[in-house]
Structure 1
Amino acid sequence: MFVRIRNLREDNDKTQQEVSDYLFCDQSLYSKYERGLRDVPVDIIIKLAELYGTSTDYILGLTDEKEKYPIKR
């Protein structure tokens, strides 16, 4: 998971500071998420999925499909 959130950030040309501002957390805390030094809370995983237009399953490593799941109505 940690490599995926770093790769998503880099693929979207964002800095750690930009992502941490979006998440309303400190940049040093976000850096620890990316390095695997802190567990990423569920609410942060959801916000990251929304930011990058992907699924939480992709971030968690449960699928290799980056595309967001279609919404069923």
Structure 2
Amino acid sequence: MSKQTQNRIRELRKQSRLSQQALADQIGVFRNTISNWETGYSQISLENAKKVAEYFGVTIDYLLGSESDQT
């Protein structure tokens, strides 16, 4: 996963004032999964990228770093 994707997940979560646990609960994954995405330890699946993007109201392209505009 690109560093930009890691940073965007963390940035969106922090802007929303969510803990890793709160985001995990909202999208149906474990807290350590969120941590692994943010540190680059594991890749985010397309299915989970869709969930995260939908939750934060951004495009998947933005989340994955292929566009700079959130919408």
1:51 aligns with 2:55: yes
Q: Which has the higher contact order (CA 8 A, sep 6+)?
A: 2
Identity of aligned residues (%): 28
Residue 3 of structure 1: aligned partner: 7
> Structure 1 length as normaliser, TM-score?
0.87
The structure that is helix-richer by fraction is: 2
Runs of 4+ in structure 1 deviating by more than 3 angstroms, as ranges, are none
Q: How many residues align?
A: 67
> Structure 2 length as normaliser, TM-score?
0.89
- Mapping 1:1-73, distance limit 5 Å: 1-67=5-71
Structure 2 unaligned segments of length 5 or more: list them. Answer: none
Residue 71 of structure 1: aligned partner: none
Largest Rg, 1 or 2: 1
Structure 1 unaligned segments of length 5 or more: list them. Answer: 68-73
Aligned-residue Cα RMSD (Å) equals 0.8
